[in-house]
Amino acid sequence: MPNDPPPTLLAAMGSRGYLLTAWPWRAAGYLLSTMAVVVAAGLPLVLLGMPLLLAAASDAALGERALPAVLGLLLVAGLGPAVTIPLTGLERRRLRLVDVRPAGPGHRRPPERGVLPWFRTRYTEPVTWRALGYFLLLSAAVPVLYAAMLSALAFEFGAVAAPLILLGGDGPMVLGPLRLATPAEALPYAVAGLVLLPAVPYLLALVAAAQGALARTCLRNGPDGRLQAELVEVARSRARLVDAFEAERRRIERDLHDGAQQRLVSLTLKLGIARVDLPPGSPAADSVADAHAEAKLLMTELRELVHGIHPRVLTDRGLAAALGELADRSPLAVTVEADLPGRLPRQVESTAYFAAAEALTNAAKHSGADRAAVVARLSGGVLTVEVADEGAGGADPSRGTGLTGLADRVAVIDGRLLVSSPAGGPTLVRVELPCEPNRPPSG
């Protein structure tokens, strides 16, 4: 929704009135609390890696430095996670200062209670080693980065305050490469500092957002290989089921259209001929006339059933033509705007068509509207179908299965359903389906 607060610091920086929100203070709090985290993680890691640091700084031969270096690596790899694991949960909670989105799964629960299962689970998780790398990088980069940032801030505020300091006769004053002796010399730098002063919160926010993005990437646990393989197989089997279901729908539609419907047409014709041959007003003529009327009614119902299973126009001419026919058959006055580049994948066309059909059926039954509009367009690899009416609104999935079933059908091909239906109307049903148009055959 347009009025929703930004979920991340980076998104908030692009909004109007950023400096008047709480986000700059949250960024400053995140950066200040980082120093405590660096001390808590960096000092033990430096102590564990001391043999490695001493070996790197030593003038001894390579062979003599190998043993301390290996010892330092083993200590960091063996005991480093014991230092960083407790800090990982703290860092994930601290991340909410700059990113309020759910951080995703953290450490997994050990399968059994006990020290050994806990260590076995923690030391085999990728997130444990990514977190160790994150805290090592943080311990090495933060002192340098923050020192540079503090130097820039000191120069900024020193330039702003320089004329006042020199006005009291406490000169000359040194600002980096500058040596200022009088207030007149410092005034241009003070003006420039004042102009750049609003950029300070953005600088702090940029550093905090970059660190938050790094923390979110490193401290989020993903599914293990077995679970990932199962998810891939579930996605593939779902796609196969959808293909089989659509193929079965088309087969039933074809059998009814080419088989039962044609036989019923033939039966209707024969009954009509028999009715002509019988004497008018006779009991036999009346019975044949009734049978003829029933056969015609049954043929109409069968035609509607065949069309509901899978309309032939959708198979032969595509989604745009099928939406036009759907509008002609609707009891509402429906306008259709379909900006589509030819044929689309069968699954997408079928899902979009039946979503529009369900939305128009709901509008005709429940909205009280006499008009509706259908808009279908393809942009950026997403097919969007919107059905709008000016009815009473108040559509609620909890009062029926129509919208729920429609959402399930759309979700099968990784699409999504959005419904806006305030009391009093209007109602807008929007379906978004990932789609790439079919490429024409080459040559």
Percentage of the chain exceeding pLDDT 70:
73
Positive or negative, the Cα torsion across 45, 51, 54, 56? negative
- In this prediction, residue 54 carries a pLDDT of 60
Mean pLDDT of the region 59-88 = 66
User: Which residues have C-beta within 8 Å of that of residue 345, sequence separation ≥ 6?
Assistant: 435, 436, 438
325-330 long-range Cβ contacts below 8 angstroms, 24+ apart = 326/353, 326/356, 326/357, 326/360, 326/374, 327/360, 327/374, 330/360, 330/364, 330/372
More confident residue, 45 or 376: 376
Task: For Cα atoms 5, 6, 9, give the angle at the middle one, nearest 5 degrees.
Answer: 135
345-348 long-range Cβ contacts below 8 angstroms, 24+ apart = 345/435, 345/436, 345/438, 346/246, 347/242, 347/243, 347/246, 347/413, 348/383, 348/413, 348/433, 348/435
Q: Which of 58-67, 325-334, 357-366, 400-409 has the lowest mean pLDDT?
A: 58-67
In this structure, the strands spanning 382-389 and 427-434 are antiparallel
Phi, psi of 242 (to 5 degrees): -65, -45
- In this prediction, residue 325 carries a pLDDT of 83
Span 314-359, pLDDT tens digits: 777 888 888 888 888 888 888 888 888 778 887 788 888 888 888 8
Average pLDDT of the chain? 76
β-sheet bridge partners, residue 271: none
Mean pLDDT of the region 349-373 = 83
- In this prediction, residue 25 carries a pLDDT of 92
Half-sphere CA count of 117, side-chain side, radius 13 A: 7
Span 392-406, pLDDT tens digits: 777 766 665 567 777
Percentage of the chain exceeding pLDDT 90:
1
Q: Which of 46-60, 179-193, 402-416, 418-432 has the lowest mean pLDDT?
A: 46-60
Positive or negative, the Cα torsion across 31, 33, 36, 40? negative
200-206 long-range Cβ contacts below 8 angstroms, 24+ apart = 200/153, 200/156, 201/18, 201/19, 201/24, 201/27, 201/28, 202/13, 202/18, 203/149, 203/152, 204/24, 204/27, 204/28, 204/31, 204/149, 205/9, 205/10, 205/12, 205/13, 205/23, 205/24, 205/27, 206/13
Span 102-113, pLDDT tens digits: 766 666 677 777
Quick one: which of 403, 396, 313, 328 has its CA closest to 358?
403
- In this prediction, residue 443 carries a pLDDT of 37
